[in-house]
Structures are given as C-alpha cells and as structure tokens.
Structure 1
Amino acid sequence: MFSLNESQRFYLCLSPTDLRKGFDSLCGLVSSELGRDPLGGEVFIFVNRSRTTIKLLHWERGGLVLYHKRLESGRFSLPRVHSSGKGCSILWRDLVMMVEGISMEKTTRRKRFNIAPKTA
C-alpha cells in the first residue's frame, strides 16, 4: 500500500467528477467514460468541479486503493493537456506538482538529459 511512484502510468479524467463516488462508481466511470480497465494497473485521477478535492484510484496486488485529498484553501492546478478526449496521460511529476500546489502555468521545465528506459 502507498506505492505510487514514477514507474506507474497516470491517467487524468478531464471532466469534473462528483467525488462522493466511491470505489465501484469510480471503476464504472473508468470503464464507461474513459474506456480503460480499472484493474489494469494505471492510476486514475479525478478532480471535482471546484478543484478543491482530488481522488486517485488504482489496483494493487489484492485490491483497489483510493487516495483522497481535500484542500482547506486554494485549488488544484491542472496540467496543460493537448487532448480532446475525456482523459489523458500525465507524468508522475505533473501529479506531484498538482498535489504540492505548484502552479504549472508559471513553471518552466529546463532541458535535462534523460536516458530512455530499455524495452525488451
């Protein structure tokens, strides 16, 4: 448990979500609206309309895990996306910036050397 890291795939739901939903309702939303498999290992990110609450849903060995964070002040800043669909993939660092309250609009990423992961 508590095993989110950069090796996982993160999928952001672009439409505001009623976050009174629990495990089963969010799994249904992943299947029907996003066309993804909730048990496929991806981490699904949902944000409410006012962007004050976020939920992350993912499957771990043995069961589903749901992380829930509500801000007492401020709003989550969503990453800029270039997708016309209902969801899009985001990077681990984008999720961390969202949760930590770092504005993605004013932040620029400097070019860094990155070794591509080996594929078998």
Structure 2
Amino acid sequence: MFSLSSSHRYFLYQGHCDMRKAFDGLCGLVSTQLGRNPTSGEVFVFLNRRRTHIKLLHWENGGFVLYYKRLEKGTFSPPKAMDGRLSLSWAELVLMVEGIQIHKSTQKSRFCF
C-alpha cells in the first residue's frame, strides 16, 4: 500500500491539468489524452498551469491512489529533454518532486543481464 518505486512506469501529462479533477476526471485524461489504460498499474503525473501543484494517479490492487503535493514556494520543473516524450524515469520524477534541476548530465551505459 502507498508504494511507488523504480519498478513502475511513469507518464507525464503534457498539458496543464485542472487540479480540481479527482479520480474520474484524471482517468478520463489518461484514457483520452494519453491513450493509456488507467488501471494498468502505471503512474500518471499531472501538473497545473503554474506548476505549483502535482498529482500522481496510480492503480493498486483494489483501487486508485492519488498522491498530491502543493508547493508554498517555487515550481516543479519537468525534465528539459522531454521533447514530446511522455514517459519519465523514476530518477527524473524524484528530481522533479524534490526540486533539483540538472543543467547538464550524461548517463553512462550499464551492463544488463
């Protein structure tokens, strides 16, 4: 319960979201705008126009979980290299939520089995 980790897939909604939307409204955006299934177990990330509020919608066994954070100062900054890409990595999501901006980075390739 209440568990998000690097094993999940994360998708960022590219538009601005009305933060008054609850479970049903966000599920509508996921299915119509993102073309994804809201009950797939993936995590969907929504930002408001001023980028001061963030919501994460996630389906767990038995129901939806909605994570919500409102900043008192500053804004959320989505990763710079989005360029129409919908998916986020766990690391990109954590950096965005924590307010850490990386101006230049390179990711070294790692050997995978």
Give runs of aligned pairs for residues 16-55 of structure 1, distance below 5 A.
16-55=16-55
1:71 aligns with 2:67: no
Q: How many Å separate the matches in 2 of 1:93 and 1:115?
A: 18
Counterpart residue type for residue 112 of structure 1: K
Flag the 1:59–1:73 CA change in 2: closer, same or farther, 3 A: same
1:109 aligns with 2:109: no
The two structures have a TM-score, normalised by structure 1, of 0.87
1:41 CA displacement: 1.1
- Structure 1 runs (4+) greater than 4 angstroms displaced: none
Flag the 1:78–1:111 CA change in 2: closer, same or farther, 3 A: closer
1:82 CA displacement: 2.0
Q: Deviations over 1:84-120 (max 9, x none)?
A: xxx600100000000000014x2x334435233x5xx
Counterpart residue type for residue 65 of structure 1: V
For these two proteins, the number of residue pairs brought into alignment is 112
Q: How many Å separate the matches in 2 of 1:99 and 1:115?
A: 28
1:17 CA displacement: 0.4
Q: Deviations over 1:7-61 (max 9, x none)?
A: 1100000101001100011001101111110001110000000000000001011
Measured on the aligned residues, the alpha-carbon RMSD in Å equals 1.4
3-state SS of 1:93 partner = helix
Q: Which runs of 5+ in 1 are unaligned?
A: none
Identity of aligned residues (%): 54
The two structures have a TM-score, normalised by structure 2, of 0.92
1:96 paired residue number? 94
Q: How many Å separate the matches in 1 of 2:24 and 2:107?
A: 41
